[in-house]
Amino acid sequence: MRYEPLDPKLYIENRARLTALLPPKSIAIVNANDVFPANADASYSLRANSDLFYLTGIEQEETLLILFPDADDEKMREILLLREPNEQNALWEGHKFSKDEAKKHTGIAEIKWRQEFDGLFRRLALEAENLYINTNEHKRAPSDVETRDDRFIREIQRRYPLHNYRRLAPLLHKLRLVKSPREIAVIQRACDLTAKAFKHVLRFTKPGRTETDIEAEFAHEFIRGRGRFAYEPIIAAGKNACCLHYSENSAPLKNGQLMLLDVGAAYANYNSDMTRTIPVNGRFTRRQRKLYNAVLRVLRDSTDRLVPGVKYKDWQKAAEAQMSDELLAIGLLKPSDIRNQTADKPAVKKYFMHGLGHPIGLDVHDVGDLIQPMQAGWVFTVEPGVYIPDENLGIRLENTVLIGENGNTNLMANIPIEADEIEAAMAR
């Protein structure tokens, strides 16, 4: 693997937290993701199943985890099934976990080969009453492509139609929202890698370069730091910044433009998420600075309002109200806009139309129930923005923040954000 192996105590603790939530006579099953085909004889690289990684640290195709805390045979209470290594897959695909390596990596004592599943699972299933099966239950997840989980559910229900089938995802979502100190340390490492790359890009940026050049500098720093992009980066100069999910990253950088950088590093599958907006020539104009500072004030105050007990929808509304006041003071919004707005169509949505933030962890838009009040231990992004296509500029600022009982921790405190800081760093 590219990154340094994490302490297996992380996975041991995570499995213990999950099994404590299972009712008596319950089995939980988690599958690896599929390797998806590309074109001709090519395949995409495997992307680790976040839930499987959370519980085992394993990133290998065809892996399956079985947790049965009430199994009569104590050895059968945690079982990891792996694809068996052989000379053929070693030659063509590379290293696969041996049983001893998997034990050391995961802290699971009972390792089996994947072909042993049918007979093994029958013995366990006949002791159990409830089968907790996993699926991707993120509210914004597309569901057009059949997954390994879909096929597994269909087959297991055919073989064991009389068991009680239950959803594992709500239990995992609840656990994954609250980050342990071990997880926070890895997220911090991803944030620090993002900081290093961003500071390099500040010195590198100038008119005449391209968005592609900037993306390449981030890639170089992330890979050299044994990480990767947490998501497809947005490198958007000028009007391109008004496209919220801009991805072309090819335009030339021009004197007088602002460039929006929505980029984060991932380390050991834990993600960071940063947005900064910088002047291509190293100096903000008076107008750019005024808008920039308005967004920065909303960022800072929204971070202060990100406290245990607040609900996401109320946090969002407070930011929109503050941004509305900021845009009124600047003149982008007029008093008549406020008088004519409705609850369904706030005037501020013309310039600030997206969510204020999201949980982050093993997924960039991490899983979790945002209907419930926020809690200490959540790691959240804060990302207000203003987009003005008529002026060919968009400004968004974003930090990754740990919510605490007695105050938050900005995990990106070492990344320049004040306009003067940005200008000074670019001047160097």
Q: What pLDDT shows up at residue 252?
A: 98
Give 140's pLDDT tier (boundaries 50, 70, 90). Answer: confident
Percentage, residues of the chain above pLDDT 90: 95
Q: What pLDDT shows up at residue 378?
A: 98
Q: Quick one: average pLDDT of 268-275?
A: 98
Question: Looking at the predicted structure, is the pLDDT value of residue 204 above 90?
Answer: yes
Question: Looking at the predicted structure, is the pLDDT value of residue 144 above 90?
Answer: no
Region for residue 106 given its phi and psi (left: phi exceeds 0; alpha: psi -120 to 50; beta: otherwise) = alpha
Q: Quick one: average pLDDT of 41-67?
A: 96
Q: What pLDDT shows up at residue 377?
A: 98
Stretch(es) of the chain classified as CATH 3.90.230.10: 181-427
Backbone φ and ψ for 27, nearest 5 degrees, come out as -110, 135
**H helix or E strand, kind and range, residue 105:** helix 99-106
CA dist 69 to 30, 66, 130, 286, 330, Å? 15, 10, 12, 63, 61
* CA atoms of 319 and 327, how far apart (whole Å): 12
Q: Tell me the Cα Rg of the chain.
A: 24
CATH architecture of 9-175: 3-Layer(aba) Sandwich (3.40)
Asked if 400 and 381 touch (Cβ cutoff 8 Å), the reply is yes
Q: What pLDDT shows up at residue 1?
A: 80
Question: Looking at the predicted structure, is the pLDDT value of residue 139 above 90?
Answer: no
* CA atoms of 314 and 13, how far apart (whole Å): 33
Q: What pLDDT shows up at residue 352?
A: 98
Three-state SS at 146: coil
Please give the full DSSP string across 168-219, using - where no structure is assigned: SHHHHHHHHHS--HHHHHHHHHHHHHHHHHHHHHHHH--BTBBHHHHHHHHH
Percentage, residues of the chain above pLDDT 70: 100
**H helix or E strand, kind and range, residue 228:** strand 228-229
* pTM recorded for the entire structure: 0.96
* CA atoms of 372 and 178, how far apart (whole Å): 13
- The string of pLDDT tens digits covering residues 279-318 is 999 999 999 999 999 999 999 999 999 999 999 999 999 9
Asked if 5 and 163 touch (Cβ cutoff 8 Å), the reply is no
- The string of pLDDT tens digits covering residues 74-116 is 999 999 999 999 999 989 989 999 999 999 999 999 999 999 9
Closest C-alpha to 370, from 184, 140, 214, 211: 140
**Which residue type is seen at 368?**
G
Q: What pLDDT shows up at residue 141?
A: 86
Region for residue 238 given its phi and psi (left: phi exceeds 0; alpha: psi -120 to 50; beta: otherwise) = left
CATH topology for 181-427 is Creatine Amidinohydrolase (3.90.230)
**Cβ burial, residue 131 (10 Å; 0-12/13-18/19+):** buried
Stretch(es) of the chain classified as CATH 3.40.350.10: 9-175
Q: What pLDDT shows up at residue 205?
A: 98
The side-by-side arrangement of strands in the sheet containing 265-267 is 228-229, 265-267, 270-271
* CA atoms of 218 and 265, how far apart (whole Å): 9
Asked if 371 and 170 touch (Cβ cutoff 8 Å), the reply is no
- Residue-averaged pLDDT of the chain: 97
Question: Looking at the predicted structure, is the pLDDT value of residue 31 above 90?
Answer: yes
Give the count of alpha carbons within 13 A of 428, CB side only: 9
Q: What pLDDT shows up at residue 428?
A: 83
Question: Looking at the predicted structure, is the pLDDT value of residue 143 above 80?
Answer: no
The DSSP output letter for 81 is E
Give 361's pLDDT tier (boundaries 50, 70, 90). Answer: very high
